[in-house]
Amino acid sequence: MGKVAIVTGGSRGIGAAISKALKAAGHTVVATYAGNDEKANAFKDDTGIPVYKWDVSSFEACCEGIAKVEAEHGPVEILVNNAGITKDAMFHKMTPEHWQAVIGTNLSGLFNMTRPVWEGMRERNFGRIINISSINGQKGQAGQANYSAAKAGDLGFTKALALEGAKKGITVNAICPGYINTDMMATISDDVMQKHILPQIPVGRLGEADEIARCVVFLASDDAGFITGSTLSANGGQYMD
Protein backbone atom coordinates (compact mmCIF):
# COMPACT_ATOMS: atom_id res chain seq x y z
CA MET A 1 0.00 0.00 0.00
CA GLY A 2 1.37 3.40 -0.98
CA LYS A 3 2.34 5.95 1.62
CA VAL A 4 2.76 9.72 1.68
CA ALA A 5 6.37 10.74 1.08
CA ILE A 6 8.16 14.09 1.18
CA VAL A 7 11.44 14.51 -0.67
CA THR A 8 13.27 17.72 0.14
CA GLY A 9 15.15 19.21 -2.78
CA GLY A 10 13.00 16.77 -4.71
CA SER A 11 12.60 18.51 -8.06
CA ARG A 12 16.19 18.44 -9.35
CA GLY A 13 19.16 16.08 -9.60
CA ILE A 14 19.25 13.16 -7.19
CA GLY A 15 16.11 14.45 -5.49
CA ALA A 16 14.12 14.38 -8.72
CA ALA A 17 15.19 10.79 -9.37
CA ILE A 18 14.13 9.85 -5.83
CA SER A 19 10.75 11.54 -6.21
CA LYS A 20 10.03 9.74 -9.48
CA ALA A 21 11.18 6.37 -8.15
CA LEU A 22 9.00 6.62 -5.05
CA LYS A 23 6.02 7.55 -7.18
CA ALA A 24 6.70 4.58 -9.48
CA ALA A 25 6.74 2.38 -6.36
CA GLY A 26 3.18 3.46 -5.62
CA HIS A 27 3.67 6.21 -3.07
CA THR A 28 2.05 9.65 -2.98
CA VAL A 29 5.06 11.92 -3.38
CA VAL A 30 5.55 15.60 -2.63
CA ALA A 31 8.76 17.38 -3.64
CA THR A 32 10.02 20.51 -1.91
CA TYR A 33 12.35 23.08 -3.38
CA ALA A 34 13.91 26.32 -2.23
CA GLY A 35 14.55 28.58 -5.20
CA ASN A 36 14.02 27.83 -8.88
CA ASP A 37 10.31 28.21 -9.58
CA GLU A 38 10.67 27.61 -13.32
CA LYS A 39 12.45 24.29 -12.98
CA ALA A 40 10.22 23.15 -10.13
CA ASN A 41 7.08 23.84 -12.13
CA ALA A 42 8.56 22.11 -15.17
CA PHE A 43 9.23 19.07 -12.98
CA LYS A 44 5.65 19.17 -11.72
CA ASP A 45 4.25 19.39 -15.24
CA ASP A 46 6.48 16.57 -16.45
CA THR A 47 5.87 14.14 -13.58
CA GLY A 48 2.57 15.10 -11.99
CA ILE A 49 4.36 15.30 -8.64
CA PRO A 50 3.22 18.35 -6.63
CA VAL A 51 5.91 20.79 -5.52
CA TYR A 52 6.00 22.99 -2.45
CA LYS A 53 8.42 25.84 -1.85
CA TRP A 54 10.08 26.43 1.48
CA ASP A 55 13.52 26.80 3.05
CA VAL A 56 14.47 23.76 5.13
CA SER A 57 16.87 25.89 7.19
CA SER A 58 13.80 27.54 8.76
CA PHE A 59 12.00 25.47 11.40
CA GLU A 60 8.90 27.64 11.14
CA ALA A 61 8.78 27.25 7.35
CA CYS A 62 9.10 23.47 7.68
CA CYS A 63 6.30 23.28 10.25
CA GLU A 64 4.01 25.38 8.08
CA GLY A 65 4.89 23.52 4.89
CA ILE A 66 4.48 20.06 6.40
CA ALA A 67 1.13 21.04 7.95
CA LYS A 68 -0.07 22.10 4.50
CA VAL A 69 1.17 18.88 2.89
CA GLU A 70 -0.53 16.73 5.52
CA ALA A 71 -3.78 18.67 5.20
CA GLU A 72 -3.79 18.11 1.44
CA HIS A 73 -2.30 14.61 1.15
CA GLY A 74 -2.43 12.90 4.54
CA PRO A 75 0.11 12.05 7.26
CA VAL A 76 3.73 11.90 6.15
CA GLU A 77 5.05 8.36 6.55
CA ILE A 78 8.23 8.60 4.46
CA LEU A 79 10.66 11.52 4.73
CA VAL A 80 13.71 11.82 2.50
CA ASN A 81 16.03 14.59 3.71
CA ASN A 82 17.85 15.29 0.45
CA ALA A 83 18.05 19.10 0.25
CA GLY A 84 21.60 20.40 0.34
CA ILE A 85 23.79 23.28 -0.71
CA THR A 86 27.51 23.93 -1.05
CA LYS A 87 29.53 27.03 -0.22
CA ASP A 88 33.01 25.72 -0.91
CA ALA A 89 36.17 27.56 0.17
CA MET A 90 39.50 26.64 1.67
CA PHE A 91 39.18 27.09 5.41
CA HIS A 92 41.46 30.13 5.61
CA LYS A 93 39.02 31.87 3.25
CA MET A 94 35.78 30.46 4.66
CA THR A 95 33.45 33.04 6.19
CA PRO A 96 30.90 32.61 8.97
CA GLU A 97 28.25 33.08 6.29
CA HIS A 98 29.66 30.14 4.28
CA TRP A 99 29.60 28.01 7.41
CA GLN A 100 26.16 28.94 8.71
CA ALA A 101 24.43 28.61 5.34
CA VAL A 102 25.66 25.06 4.77
CA ILE A 103 25.11 23.90 8.35
CA GLY A 104 21.66 25.50 8.33
CA THR A 105 20.47 23.61 5.26
CA ASN A 106 22.48 20.40 5.31
CA LEU A 107 22.38 19.62 9.03
CA SER A 108 19.80 21.76 10.82
CA GLY A 109 17.46 21.05 7.91
CA LEU A 110 17.24 17.44 9.09
CA PHE A 111 16.02 18.53 12.51
CA ASN A 112 13.66 21.10 11.02
CA MET A 113 12.02 18.57 8.69
CA THR A 114 12.03 15.54 10.96
CA ARG A 115 10.79 17.11 14.20
CA PRO A 116 7.32 18.06 12.81
CA VAL A 117 6.64 14.51 11.50
CA TRP A 118 8.23 12.56 14.35
CA GLU A 119 5.33 12.57 16.81
CA GLY A 120 2.87 11.46 14.15
CA MET A 121 5.14 8.59 13.16
CA ARG A 122 5.43 7.56 16.81
CA GLU A 123 1.66 7.61 17.25
CA ARG A 124 1.12 5.48 14.13
CA ASN A 125 4.01 3.13 14.99
CA PHE A 126 5.48 3.51 11.53
CA GLY A 127 7.93 5.77 9.75
CA ARG A 128 10.73 5.76 7.23
CA ILE A 129 13.36 8.50 7.41
CA ILE A 130 16.18 8.45 4.88
CA ASN A 131 18.93 11.05 5.10
CA ILE A 132 21.07 11.75 2.05
CA SER A 133 24.57 12.37 3.39
CA SER A 134 27.73 12.20 1.25
CA ILE A 135 31.01 10.40 0.77
CA ASN A 136 32.62 13.64 1.90
CA GLY A 137 30.89 13.30 5.25
CA GLN A 138 32.72 9.99 5.61
CA LYS A 139 36.19 10.88 4.36
CA GLY A 140 36.32 14.68 4.36
CA GLN A 141 37.20 16.94 1.45
CA ALA A 142 39.54 19.91 1.16
CA GLY A 143 37.60 23.12 0.60
CA GLN A 144 34.49 21.64 2.19
CA ALA A 145 34.98 21.86 5.94
CA ASN A 146 31.43 23.17 6.26
CA TYR A 147 29.88 20.58 3.93
CA SER A 148 31.86 17.65 5.33
CA ALA A 149 31.00 18.65 8.89
CA ALA A 150 27.30 18.88 8.08
CA LYS A 151 27.22 15.59 6.22
CA ALA A 152 29.14 13.83 9.01
CA GLY A 153 26.63 15.32 11.43
CA ASP A 154 23.83 13.79 9.36
CA LEU A 155 25.27 10.36 10.13
CA GLY A 156 25.36 10.99 13.88
CA PHE A 157 21.77 12.28 13.72
CA THR A 158 20.76 9.14 11.84
CA LYS A 159 22.25 6.76 14.40
CA ALA A 160 20.88 8.54 17.45
CA LEU A 161 17.38 8.91 16.03
CA ALA A 162 17.36 5.28 14.89
CA LEU A 163 17.77 4.22 18.52
CA GLU A 164 14.83 6.37 19.56
CA GLY A 165 12.54 5.27 16.75
CA ALA A 166 13.21 1.53 16.74
CA LYS A 167 10.54 0.48 19.24
CA LYS A 168 7.98 2.68 17.50
CA GLY A 169 8.40 1.09 14.08
CA ILE A 170 10.39 4.03 12.71
CA THR A 171 13.57 3.28 10.80
CA VAL A 172 16.19 5.97 10.21
CA ASN A 173 18.95 5.34 7.69
CA ALA A 174 21.48 7.31 5.66
CA ILE A 175 22.80 7.04 2.14
CA CYS A 176 26.23 8.41 1.22
CA PRO A 177 26.46 8.95 -2.54
CA GLY A 178 29.84 9.33 -4.18
CA TYR A 179 30.31 11.20 -7.45
CA ILE A 180 26.94 11.14 -9.23
CA ASN A 181 26.23 12.14 -12.81
CA THR A 182 24.20 15.31 -12.21
CA ASP A 183 24.16 18.83 -13.66
CA MET A 184 26.84 19.86 -11.15
CA MET A 185 29.24 17.19 -12.38
CA ALA A 186 28.53 18.18 -15.99
CA THR A 187 30.32 21.48 -15.37
CA ILE A 188 33.63 19.66 -14.78
CA SER A 189 35.95 19.52 -17.78
CA ASP A 190 36.55 16.17 -19.43
CA ASP A 191 40.27 16.52 -18.72
CA VAL A 192 39.69 16.88 -14.98
CA MET A 193 37.14 14.06 -15.08
CA GLN A 194 39.49 11.64 -16.81
CA LYS A 195 42.67 12.51 -14.93
CA HIS A 196 41.50 13.29 -11.43
CA ILE A 197 38.00 11.99 -10.71
CA LEU A 198 37.39 8.69 -12.51
CA PRO A 199 40.76 7.21 -11.43
CA GLN A 200 39.56 7.50 -7.81
CA ILE A 201 36.49 5.33 -8.50
CA PRO A 202 37.24 1.60 -8.76
CA VAL A 203 34.21 0.85 -10.96
CA GLY A 204 35.53 3.47 -13.40
CA ARG A 205 32.44 5.60 -13.84
CA LEU A 206 30.16 8.10 -12.17
CA GLY A 207 27.08 6.89 -10.39
CA GLU A 208 23.62 7.64 -11.74
CA ALA A 209 20.89 9.43 -9.82
CA ASP A 210 18.57 6.49 -10.44
CA GLU A 211 20.98 4.23 -8.57
CA ILE A 212 20.64 6.38 -5.46
CA ALA A 213 16.89 6.47 -5.94
CA ARG A 214 16.67 2.69 -5.94
CA CYS A 215 18.49 2.64 -2.60
CA VAL A 216 15.88 5.03 -1.20
CA VAL A 217 12.96 2.98 -2.51
CA PHE A 218 14.32 -0.11 -0.77
CA LEU A 219 14.95 1.63 2.55
CA ALA A 220 11.45 3.13 2.41
CA SER A 221 9.84 -0.26 1.85
CA ASP A 222 8.36 -2.73 4.32
CA ASP A 223 11.13 -5.13 3.27
CA ALA A 224 13.68 -2.89 5.02
CA GLY A 225 11.97 -2.96 8.40
CA PHE A 226 14.94 -4.64 10.10
CA ILE A 227 17.45 -2.08 8.80
CA THR A 228 17.90 1.02 10.91
CA GLY A 229 20.80 3.24 11.94
CA SER A 230 22.68 2.10 8.85
CA THR A 231 24.79 4.01 6.35
CA LEU A 232 24.58 2.77 2.78
CA SER A 233 27.63 3.84 0.77
CA ALA A 234 26.88 4.16 -2.94
CA ASN A 235 30.21 5.36 -4.33
CA GLY A 236 31.56 2.75 -6.71
CA GLY A 237 34.14 1.60 -4.20
CA GLN A 238 35.78 5.02 -3.85
CA TYR A 239 35.56 4.92 -0.06
CA MET A 240 35.01 1.83 2.07
CA ASP A 241 34.22 2.18 5.76
**Active site (catalytic) residues:** 147
Cβ distance 88 to 141 under 8 Å?
no
DSSP 98-140: HHHHHHHHHTHHHHHHHHHHHHHHHHHT-EEEEEE--HHHHH-
Amino acid in position 13: G
H runs (alpha helix) in the chain:
13-24, 37-47, 59-73, 96-106, 108-124, 135-139, 145-165, 183-186, 190-192, 209-220
